[in-house]
Chains A and B, each alone.
Chain A
Amino acid sequence: MRWSRGPAAGLAVGCAAILALTAGVLPAKAQAPPSSRFVVVIDAAHGGADAGGRLSSGQLEKNVTLELSVRLRSLLAARGIAVTTTRESDIDVDAVRRAEIANHARAGACLSLHASETGSGIHLFTSSLAPTQPARFEAWKTAQGAWISRSLALAGAINFALLHAGFDVTLSRTALTAVDSMTCPALALEVAPARGADGKVTAEPDDATYQASVANALASALLEWRMEGRQP
Chain B
Amino acid sequence: MIPRYQQILFAVLLFSALVMGGVLWHLRQRAHERLLAGEDSAPTKAPAVAPAERSTLMVANDADGSLRVQERVLPLPADPNARARVLLGELLNLYAARGAAHPVSGGAAGVAQVFLMPVPGAKKTADPGAELAVVNLTGNFVASHPSGLETETLTVLSICGTLRANLPRITEVRFLVDGQERANLAGHADLTQTYLTADAVNTGEARP
Contact residues of A with B, CB < 8 Å?
46, 50, 52-54, 61, 114, 116-120, 123, 125, 128, 141, 170, 172-177, 180, 188, 190, 192, 199
Q: B183 at the A/B interface (Cβ < 8 Å)?
A: yes
Given contacts A53-B147, A123-B150, 10 further A-B contacts (CB under 8 A): A50-B187, A53-B148, A116-B147, A116-B149, A119-B148, A125-B150, A172-B153, A177-B184, A180-B193, A190-B148
Q: Kindly identify, within residues 51 to 77 of chain B, every residue whose CB is under 8 Å from any CB belonging to chain A.
A: 62-65
Q: Is A174 within 8 A of B153, CB to CB?
A: yes
A177 to B189, CA, bound (A): 8
Q: B127 at the A/B interface (Cβ < 8 Å)?
A: no
A52 to B146, CA, bound (A): 10
Give chain A nearest CB distance to B192 CB in angstroms: 8
Q: Which residue of A lies closest to B195 (CB)?
A: A175
> Which residue of B151, B187, B188 is within 8 Å of A119 (Cβ)?
B151
**What are the 9 closest A-B residue pairs judged by CB atoms, nearest first?**
A53-B147, A116-B148, A170-B65, A175-B190, A174-B153, A190-B149, A118-B151, A123-B150, A173-B203
Q: Which residues on B sit within 8 Å (CB–CB) of A173? A: 199, 203
Contact residues of B with A, CB < 8 Å?
62-65, 146-151, 153, 156, 183-184, 186-190, 192-193, 195, 199, 203-205
Take A128-B203, A174-B189 as given contacts and tell me if A52 and B65 are in contact as well, using a CB distance cutoff of 8 Å. no
Can you spell out 26 A-B residue pairs with CB atoms less than 8 angstroms apart?
A50-B187, A53-B146, A61-B147, A61-B187, A114-B149, A116-B147, A116-B150, A117-B146, A118-B150, A119-B62, A119-B148, A125-B153, A128-B203, A141-B193, A170-B65, A172-B203, A174-B189, A175-B153, A175-B189, A176-B188, A176-B190, A177-B192, A190-B150, A192-B148, A192-B150, A199-B63
Q: Which residue of B lies closest to A175 (CB)?
A: B190
> Which residue of A117, A123, A175, A188 is within 8 Å of B65 (Cβ)?
A123
Q: Which residues on A sit within 8 Å (CB–CB) of B156? A: 175
A116 to B204, CA, bound (A): 19
Give chain A nearest CB distance to B127 CB in angstroms: 16
Q: Is B193 within 8 A of A119, CB to CB?
A: no
Q: Which residue of B lies closest to A112 (CB)?
A: B149
Specify which of A46, A172, A188 lies most central, judged by the most chain B CB atoms within 10 Å of its CB. A172
Q: Is B147 within 8 A of A176, CB to CB?
A: no
Q: Which residues on A sit within 8 Å (CB–CB) of B153? A: 125, 172, 174-175
Q: Is A53 within 8 A of B187, CB to CB?
A: yes
Question: Is chain B's binding surface mostly helix, strand, loop or mixed?
Answer: loop
Give chain A nearest CB distance to B85 CB in angstroms: 23
Q: Which residues on B sit within 8 Å (CB–CB) of A53? A: 146-148, 186-187
Q: Which residue of B lies closest to A94 (CB)?
A: B183
Q: Which residues on A sit within 8 Å (CB–CB) of B149? A: 114, 116, 123, 125, 174, 176, 188, 190
Q: Which residues on A sit within 8 Å (CB–CB) of B199? A: 128, 173
Q: Which residues on B sit within 8 Å (CB–CB) of A117? A: 146, 148
A155 to B55, CA, bound (A): 35
Q: Is A119 within 8 A of B203, CB to CB?
A: no
A52 to B152, CA, bound (A): 12
A173 to B196, CA, bound (A): 13
A128 to B198, CA, bound (A): 11
Q: Is B193 within 8 A of A118, CB to CB?
A: no
Q: Which residues on A sit within 8 Å (CB–CB) of B205? A: 172
Q: Is B148 within 8 A of A177, CB to CB?
A: no
Give chain A nearest CB distance to B155 CB in angstroms: 11
Q: Which residues on B sit within 8 Å (CB–CB) of A190? A: 148-150
Q: Which residue of B lies closest to A188 (CB)?
A: B149
A118 to B64, CA, bound (A): 10
Q: Which residues on B sit within 8 Å (CB–CB) of A175? A: 153, 156, 189-190, 193, 195
A170 to B146, CA, bound (A): 19
A170 to B203, CA, bound (A): 11
Q: Which residues on B sit within 8 Å (CB–CB) of A172? A: 65, 150, 153, 203-205
Q: Is A114 within 8 A of B148, CB to CB?
A: yes
Q: Which residue of B lies closest to A126 (CB)?
A: B203
Q: Which residues on A sit within 8 Å (CB–CB) of B146? A: 53, 117-118
Q: Which residues on B sit within 8 Å (CB–CB) of A54? A: 147
